[in-house]
Amino acid sequence: MAPRLGILAFADADGRAPHVAGKVRAGAAAGVEVIVRVVPWAADIDEARRVLETLMRDDGMDGIFVQFPYPDAAWAPQLEAMIPPAVDVDVMSPERVTGVLNGVERLPPVTVSAALALIDAHDVRVAGRRGLVIAEPSDFAAMFRLAFVRCGVQMLPLIRPAETTLHERLREVTVVIAAAGIPGSVRANQLAPGTVAIDVGYFNPGGRGDIDINERIAHLDAIAPVPGSIGPMTVSCLVERTILFAERRIA
């Protein structure tokens, strides 16, 4: 039986579910069956819960993935708490989040795995550098920061995108992870020479990244821009994670 991944997605105002088609194609190419359930644009949290419950009742599901962004960010705790840890491929359930933050679980969210895979694939050395995550406080941001601590990066405390000292902090580090979800909120020329920049802020209309690369980037050691870097690699890591969970289930 092929590995099976269930995706809960949310329709936009045009009735489409963004960021899903590529996951379905990637799954098919790797022999993973992807089952998508879409929550209508006008739905409320109760309907979203019902759709997720239906998806999880499907027999033989190896992974469950909830597609960002939520129609309402306040839905996150209720929906994520419903995901059984055994099929939580993206570290969303409270149990798996706690496991990662406490060092019990070593598999981070798939987007974090994607960032690590990118720097490994291009032989970018980050150990010994100082780093910074730009994001609103969240478990996701904390797990991203922790993953780079484990890579040997001296990570400064997380900084919010609206913080007045952001520009000053950027000059103190050479690893920058931009995960604010605010298009163009960081200008490439604000980054210090030799910086390794990873843009994670791609869930917005038009798929623009947090880092504005219209200006010069030659002073950077490496950059994973949006679009074209973290998104496709995240899809690959999601498919790979689903296969891993399937192997665990039948072992």
Tokens 């601590």 belong to 149
Q: pTM, whole model, 2 decimals?
A: 0.94
The residue to which tokens 């902090």 are assigned: 169
- The CA radius of gyration of the chain, in Å to the nearest whole number, is 18
Q: What are the strands, taking DSSP E only, across the chain?
A: 4-10, 33-39, 63-66, 130-134, 154-155, 175-178, 186-187, 196-199, 211-212, 222-224
Topology adopted by domain 4-90: Rossmann fold (3.40.50)
Domain borders along the chain are 4-90, 110-231
Q: What is the pLDDT of residues 154-167, one digit of tens each?
A: 999 999 999 999 99
Pick the CATH number of 110-231 from 3.40.50.1820, 3.40.50.150, 3.40.50.300, 3.40.50.720: 3.40.50.720
Whether the per-residue pLDDT at 207 is higher than 80: the answer is: no
Report the distance separating Cα 7 and Cα 36, nearest Å: 5
Among 56, 61, 149, which residue's Cα sits nearest to residue 103?
149
Backbone angles phi, psi at 224, to 5 degrees: -105, 95
228: left (phi over 0), alpha (psi -120 to 50) or beta: left
Reported as a pLDDT band with limits 50, 70 and 90, residue 203 is low
pLDDT digits (tens, 9 = 90+) for 208-251: 889 998 878 999 999 999 888 899 999 999 999 999 999 988 87
φ/ψ of 191, rounded to 5, equals: -80, 145
